Amino acid sequence: MASVLNNLFGGKPSAPKPDAASVDPDFAEFSQTTADPSPVPVAAESSTSTALGAGQTVRPYTKWYRVHERYSLSEFKAEGVILSIIAAVLILHLFGARLNRNKARKWIRAHAAPLAAEFASVGFSGVPLAAADKKGDALLQSVVVTDEAQSDSLIKEKSLFEFAIYATGRANVAFVDVKLTLLKRFNPLTVLFEKVAAFFFDSVAETHDVAEAILYPFDGKESLLVPTIPGAPEVRSKDGKSTYDGFVWALVHKECMKQVRDDRYDVSLTVTKDNPKLPNWLTVMTESAEITDALLTPELIKLAEAAGDLFEYLIVSDQPTEKPKTLNETTPRKRIFLKYHLPSNNDYTNLVPLFRYFLRLTDKLVQVGHFRPEVLRKVKAARDATAKQIEKAEKESRAEELAAERERAKKAKRDQELNALDAKAQKKYLERERERELKRSMKKQTLRA
């Protein structure tokens, strides 16, 4: 009892250790105590470990940590060749892409002046902010100056070898699209393959740096394309005065004449005629000699001669380039096409005047593009023949569809009647059907004989 109270309320915590003889043999193992372990002295860190910092251990010297002793450069020949090829391809890619961009910039710098002079809006950004608060002649002058100063921003890069230019805002012209298609200089192997294929195969056209411009005339549809401006009757008074007769006429370089005729449906409607006014490497493709007399001007002949072998064609057309397959596709859509090669030295002195003449050609068409009824009847005859062929093909196709539909309905009715019969009746039905087919085939053989 005394020991319990002593433990509860304090007292000396430890009693003298009992002797081994007085310990209960059942609890002998609990009474055996071991001496406290003596602390192990910590060895002092060496000067090297102290220098490296606490907690770090010194690693033994091995060659694993010294790459230059385990390997030599001669063991990496394959990797070196692969890296060299990758570096060469990357350098050629970047260099070729830069050459294409520089060539596109040279083109737009040479043609920015005529585009800005002829159109109110050039490029894809609309009216410049610097000219937005101006009106009348001041606005036009400001737009021209801004477009000429920022010519590089007027062109849009669609890919590494395709660039586009857009312009709108001119009398008699809805808009004009210009597309530059350059050689794939960023991939020399592709360029080499195309050159070799064009050299050995006549069916493969030789690739060049090409500029192709497409001009879309208003053709009297200003009221449909241009928003009505209140209080501007002088603008509306011009509606309907930009029309001209539809026809196909082309001035073509003879080297690309066959390819143009094969690739374009509209040119296939024309007849090729040499003109004594033209040099021997140019020819006219027209639907009527009267159209040639109106469009083949001395100025155009002079400009085409100055362009030389870079010139491919100038086409005035109201027909689609692809052969129409439906009557809707035969609807006349007037356009003017100009295509020429880009000079290797980027000298556009002889090409810019031709491009300016192309932009102003709609004005001449509005003036002289009205011909006698005899000429228009001849022009219309070719279009009517094509329309009749398409109409005939559509009727035949429609008749085939109706026949197939009737056959499907007849088969569905037969299956329905056959399913409604029992096995014996079905057998008789099939026998009668077989007899009818046999009689029909015998009748056909008799008629053939």
pLDDT of residue 313: 96
The 10s digit of each residue's pLDDT in 281-329 is 999 999 999 999 999 999 999 999 999 999 999 999 999 999 888 888 8
What CA–CA distances, in Å, run from 99 to 66, 222, 237, 341?
46, 41, 48, 16
Residue 230 sits in the same domain as residue 190: yes
Same domain? 329 vs 395: no
CB atoms within 10 A of CB 233: 8
Do 109 and 207 share a domain, yes or no?
A: yes
pLDDT band for position 360 (50/70/90)?
very high
Lowest mean pLDDT among 48-62, 63-77, 149-163, 257-271: 48-62
Residue 52 pLDDT greater than 60, yes or no: no
Q: Are 420 and 318 within one domain?
A: no
Q: Is residue 73 domain-resident?
A: no
Report if pTM > 0.85: no
195 and 331 assigned to the same domain: yes
Q: How many domains does the chain have?
A: 2
Which range of residues forms the domain containing residue 124? 83-377
Say if residue 304 is in the same domain as residue 396. no
CA distances from 302 to 256, 278, 315, 349 (A): 20, 9, 17, 14
Residue with tokens 């790459």: 67
pLDDT digits 0-9 by tens, 200-231:
887 777 889 999 999 999 988 877 776 655 54
- Domain membership of residue 21 (yes or no) is no
The answer to whether residue 63 is domain-embedded is no
Whether residue 403 sits in one domain with residue 282: no
Residues 93 and 222 in one domain: yes
Dihedral pair phi/psi, residue 404, rounded to 5°: -65, -35
CB 340 within 8 A of CB 211: yes
Same domain, 365 and 432: no
Are the C-beta atoms of residues 282 and 253 closer than 8 Å to each other? yes
Domain boundary among 377, 412, 430: 377
Q: Do both 285 and 407 map to the same domain? A: no
Mark whether 91 and 138 lie in a shared domain: yes
My answer on whether 329 and 428 are in the same domain is: no
pLDDT at 433: 84
Note whether 376 and 332 are within 8 A (CB).
no
- 129 inside domain: yes
